[in-house]
Amino acid sequence: MEHEDFSSEKIDKIWELSNNRLSSVREFLHNKREFAPIVLLAIALLSGILTVAKATGLFIASVRAQHIVKQAAAWSKPDPTVVESQVAESKLIAEDLKENNLFWPSPKGHPVKAVLGIFGDEAYIDGSWYKVGSSIRDAKIIAIDANSVTTEWKGNKQVFRPIDADGSSAPGGPESGPDRPAPRPDRR
């Protein structure tokens, strides 16, 4: 029986210890239930604070970006004097390249050699008819009168008259021949 007493005492102690531990666990869980809402509330508040901080940071970044864009726009406005000097410099370079072209040398003299004829508001020059405002290479026709054509080339004006043309005659004149074959008779 000793063996049974010993066992029942031990069982009672174990039972008592387990009840104590069980009650400790119940108490802990009960305390946890009261503690859980506080922890969840703290997490929610922390999340809210972080959300507000992030939104504020985005707003501040947006304002900074706008400031940077305005500043860059102010810096990029061209200074008219600088632009004019650069354009003038470029024009000089372009004129120099035009005069010293390696691939297509420009003629040394005036592009218009002679006006061969005038008909109304057109002038016959170098095999083609031209009106006021037309250009022959880099010479511009600025006026056509009944007996003269005025051109402007490199800032200089020059007047040409068909009567001054050297030995050439106007189209359709007595010395000009047909440029194309004679028309064929109508075959009906």
Spans of the chain below 70 pLDDT: 1-6, 29-34, 102, 105-107, 166-188
Residue 179, domain member (yes or no): no
Same domain, yes or no: 104 and 125? no
**pLDDT per position as a tens digit, 21-32:** 777 777 776 666
- Closest Cα to residue 162, out of 107, 119, 108, 109? 119
Same domain, yes or no: 99 and 133? no
Give CA angle at 137 (136, 142), nearest 5°: 40
Same domain, yes or no: 73 and 1? yes
Same domain, yes or no: 129 and 95? no
Contact residues for 129 (Cβ-Cβ < 8 A; gap 6+): 119, 122, 123
Global pTM reads: 0.36
Same domain, yes or no: 69 and 102? no
| Cβ atoms within 10 Å of 123's Cβ, excluding its own | 27
**pLDDT per position as a tens digit, 152-172:** 988 889 999 988 776 544 455
Same domain, yes or no: 68 and 11? yes
Same domain, yes or no: 64 and 15? yes
Domain with 133 in it: 115-164
The Cα–Cα gap between 16 and 22 comes to: 10
Give me the residues paired with residue 143 across strands.
150
Per-residue model confidence (pLDDT) at position 174: 45
Per-residue DSSP letters for 85-139? HHHHHHHHHHHHHHHT-SSSPPPSS-S---EEEEETTEEEETTEEE-TT-EETTE
The count of structural domains within the chain is: 3
